[in-house]
C-alpha cells in the first residue's frame, strides 16, 4: 500500500509541477474519507533550492529519506544534467518496485537515470520529439495525458501531472478515495482524451451551462439507455450539432464520456456496497454483469470481482 511519498526538489524546479505533487499527496484529507500520506520533500544539498521563477525554497531533508519511499516524484525543472545523487535515488526506487512519477519534462530526469529504457513514456507535447531523439530506447507517446509502464508513471505537460498522480492514488486506494481528492481540488477525478487535443486549441472540462446541465442529467440517469438523440433534445440541439459541440466542450464523445461515468459509479458501488454484480450493472446502465465485466477488463485491466476484493475489503478493514 502506498504510504510514504518523497518529492525531489531539483534545482531549477518548476513551482506549478512541484505544487501539483504537494497538493495531491501532501494534504491530509482523512477527515473527508481520503488518504493521508507520509509526505516529505528532499534534495541533494539541504538548504536553499532555486526555482525556475527566480526565488528559492528552503528544503531541510536530504535524499536519505527517499530510501524507503513507496513513491518518488520528479517534477519539471530547468537543469539539463541532474546531480547523480538524484538519479541514484530514482534508480533505487525503481529497483525496489516503488512508484516513480514524473511531471511534464521531469521525464528527462527519469530517462537520464536510465529507467525509461525499454519503456513507454510521455512528456509535454513540446518536448516529446526531443525526448524520443535523445533517448531512442524509450517509446514516446506524445498524445496521452500520462503513461503507466510497470511502476513508472510519466505525465504530459503541467496539469496532466494531476491526472497521473490521481491515477496512482486510484490504483492504490480505489475510485472513492480518488474522488475525495479530486473534489477537494475541484478537478475531474479522471479526464478523457489525450494532450494532442491541447496542441492547437485548449479543450475545457464542463464549462458551458448547456453541457453542465446535460452532464448532470446524464449522471442522474446512468441506469437508462441514453442515446445521442435524447441528449440532443435535452440540450435543444440537433443530434449532429450536439455530438460535435459535446466533443469540443468535453474532449470526448458523448458515448465515451457516459461510459467513463458508468465505470466510475460502478467502482464506487463495488467499494461501498455489497450489492450483487447484476444489480450494480443495472444501476449503472451496463445492463448485465457480463457487459460490465467487459468494460472493466478493457478500461481498468481488472474484473469487477477482483476490483471489489482489492478495494471493497480495503475500505472495510
> Which CATH architecture fits 4-185?
3-Layer(aba) Sandwich (3.40)
40 Cβ neighbours under 8 A, 6+ residues apart:
4, 5, 6, 7, 61, 65
The answer on pLDDT for 144 being more than 90 is: no
Percent residues over pLDDT 70 in the chain: 91
Do 138 and 121 contact (CB within 8 A), yes or no?
yes
pLDDT at 158 (0 to 100): 79
Handedness of CA 132, 137, 142, 147 (dihedral sign): negative
- Residue-wise pLDDT tens digits, 201-254: 333 344 445 577 888 888 889 999 999 999 999 888 999 999 988 887 777 888
Average pLDDT of the residues of the chain? 89
The residue-averaged pLDDT of 58-62 equals 98
pLDDT at 42 (0 to 100): 98
Q: Where are the domains of the chain?
A: 4-185, 205-317
pLDDT at 274 (0 to 100): 92
Distance between CA 226 and CA 242 in Å, rounded? 14
Distance between CA 262 and CA 12 in Å, rounded? 42
The answer on pLDDT for 196 being more than 50 is: no
Q: Minimal CA–CA distance to 307: which of 258, 278, 264, 257?
A: 264
- Record the pTM: 0.71
Topology agreement, domain 4-185 and domain 205-317: no
Distance between CA 155 and CA 252 in Å, rounded? 19
CATH tag for 205-317 (out of 3.40.50.920, 3.30.310.50, 1.10.10.60, 3.60.150.10) = 1.10.10.60
Do 140 and 133 contact (CB within 8 A), yes or no?
no
pLDDT at 252 (0 to 100): 81
- Residue-wise pLDDT tens digits, 159-188: 899 999 999 999 999 888 888 898 888 776
Amino acid at each position: 500500500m502506498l504510504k510514504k511519498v518523497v518529492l525531489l526538489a531539483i534545482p531549477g524546479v518548476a513551482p506549478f509541477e512541484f505544487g501539483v505533487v504537494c497538493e495531491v499527496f501532501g494534504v491530509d484529507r482523512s477527515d473527508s474519507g481520503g488518504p493521508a500520506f507520509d509526505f516529505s520533500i528532499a534534495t541533494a544539498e539541504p538548504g536553499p533550492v532555486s526555482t525556475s521563477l527566480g526565488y528559492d525554497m528552503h528544503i531541510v531533508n536530504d535524499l536519505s529519506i527517499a530510501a524507503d519511499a513507496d513513491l518518488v516524484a520528479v517534477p519539471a525543472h530547468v537543469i539539463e544534467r541532474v546531480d547523480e545523487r538524484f538519479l541514484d535515488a530514482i534508480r533505487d526506487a525503481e529497483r525496489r518496485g516503488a512508484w516513480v512519477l514524473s511531471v511534464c519534462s521531469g521525464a528527462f530526469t527519469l530517462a537520464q537515470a536510465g529507467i525509461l529504457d525499454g519503456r513507454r513514456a510521455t512528456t509535454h507535447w513540446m518536448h516529446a520529439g526531443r525526448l524520443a531523439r535523445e533517448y531512442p530506447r524509450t517509446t514516446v507517446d506524445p498524445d496521452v495525458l500520462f503513461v503507466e509502464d510497470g511502476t513508472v508513471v510519466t505525465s504530459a505537460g503541467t496539469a496532466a501531472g494531476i491526472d497521473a498522480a490521481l491515477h496512482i492514488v486510484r490504483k492504490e486506494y480505489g475510485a472513492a478515495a480518488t474522488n475525495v481528492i479530486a473534489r477537494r481540488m475541484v478537478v475531474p477525478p479522471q479526464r478523457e482524451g489525450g494532450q494532442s487535443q491541447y496542441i492547437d486549441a485548449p479543450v475545457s472540462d464542463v464549462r458551458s451551462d448547456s453541457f453542465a446541465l446535460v452532464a448532470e442529467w446524464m449522471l442522474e440517469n446512468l441506469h437508462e439507455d441514453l442515446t445521442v438523440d435524447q441528449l440532443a433534445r435535452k440540450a435543444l440541439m440537433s443530434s449532429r450539432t450536439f455530438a460535435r459541440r459535446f466533443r469540443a466542450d468535453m474532449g470526448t464523445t458523448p458515448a465515451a464520456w457516459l461510459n467513463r461515468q458508468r465505470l466510475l459509479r460502478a467502482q464506487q458501488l463495488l467499494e461501498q456496497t455489497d450489492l450483487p454484480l447484476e444489480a450494480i450493472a443495472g444501476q449503472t446502465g451496463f445492463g448485465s454483469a457480463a457487459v460490465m465485466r467487459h468494460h472493466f477488463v478493457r478500461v481498468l485491466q481488472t474484473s469487477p470481482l477482483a476490483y471489489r476484493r482489492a478495494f471493497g475489503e480495503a475500505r472495510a478493514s
